[in-house]
Structure 1
């Protein structure tokens, strides 16, 4: 009887797969029949290397469950490291069908206290890392005439959050990068999508708790398991997801959201053109009622997950 698993014959590379969301996606992909390259440099939340065991541990767990996987310890922020992990996938399994750009670090602080080094480090892993791995994978996928690139964005970038200028900038950049990839590579049947995940993971465990409200928020997040993110990622990697590209999804427990993308909200026109006085009296007076509020993510997702 033929193997009817949804990802049979597929090869998936998951970055940052030693823990949390990446590990859950890698394990569920293997259960769905994919051969998996598990990338993790074994870094702390701040990005310092600590141990090479994380990727190996995920591979061992996959193999115990009857799946097939190999470990990779390259750094996504290094273009050569990205090329190495893609080449490892091809060398080990003969092809590369999907990439999940999940690797990330946090260095949270308020903007007026943020150093260049902390801004640079976070952007390098999240945004440059997504570029590096996707760019290396694109060459392989173009030759195959197919592929799926799946990037982790965040409502911190799509909506906003306090004390995360570096992370928010990187994650909104990832969403724009994904859209450009979807446009540029469509002719080779390569699709590109984003997921904004809500889940308790090693990264979210670093959230500072300094009030009963924050503690309540953290307690709610602890109920959101990384495994809840995997089904959408697996769909986007599967043949069933072949017509889905250029989209941004959010996944929160048992909820799946299709997120909006920036489009004009309201317009004003003045035939004779504008000066500062008419901008003040006419343009802004008309547009002000449609201003986007200064929200944070929790203001928009302000109900308990189901």
Structure 2
């Protein structure tokens, strides 16, 4: 989870974005009223007040609709694609429920919400002690339905033990849309679902994934599980999927697969270093199957994800 360092970085990023935006607006020779009119002509609604706040640094774009507006702004102002977006941090969770997390490596919800669930599954000290299982590699496959909601997430994790007799992994997952109800958790390979607790008000799940057999120091174990939502309509996912890592992971592969015929126009990879607050962002190309992927090597702590129009 990103701490105070990342928070300080967010203020710096906002200043850089505001400075660059002001320069781009000045260079274009367009007034805010004319910029707003050109945005509206392209189907993008942004108030003059919002534009003024963005360039002054009083506020910054965070919602997906605002990020899409910035992409259109780059075209209108004649600046390189990504030159403004690259100065913005990844989207942050709103309210008590974060967007998409799991694997015991995350904490993006209030402790007072999470702790009771940890107590019930027999892991009361999970937030304060380093786990003897290290996440070596992780592959997330996020499936997006035709209505833009999330159909399912399948995760394949490789874990290495730093102590003998390790036999379970703690999964923490939060749903974007609590009103849709919690997803169904299924163990796919080399594990089974043990104790599982759900906080429906916050869309939060804490569950044990119990290994087929314990592993000792230095040994590795591969598990696979899936979280499936009911629909249509499928739960809102805010056009993004990411993981927030508290410790370094050697390899993280994130794949987003879209329903045939409903692939987005543009996708972006983003990351935020949890130690330095450094933000990076780059454009991704859809593959021939209507999907997109991004890879992080020796990454963490921090946030790594994909978002799309």
Q: TM-score range by the shorter chain?
A: under 0.3
Taking structure 2 as the reference length, what is the TM-score of the superposition? 0.26
Q: Could you say which structure has the higher helix fraction?
A: 1
- Larger RCO, structures 1/2 (Cα 8 Å, 6+ apart): 2
The structure that is strand-richer by fraction is: 2
- The normalised TM-score by structure 1 is 0.26
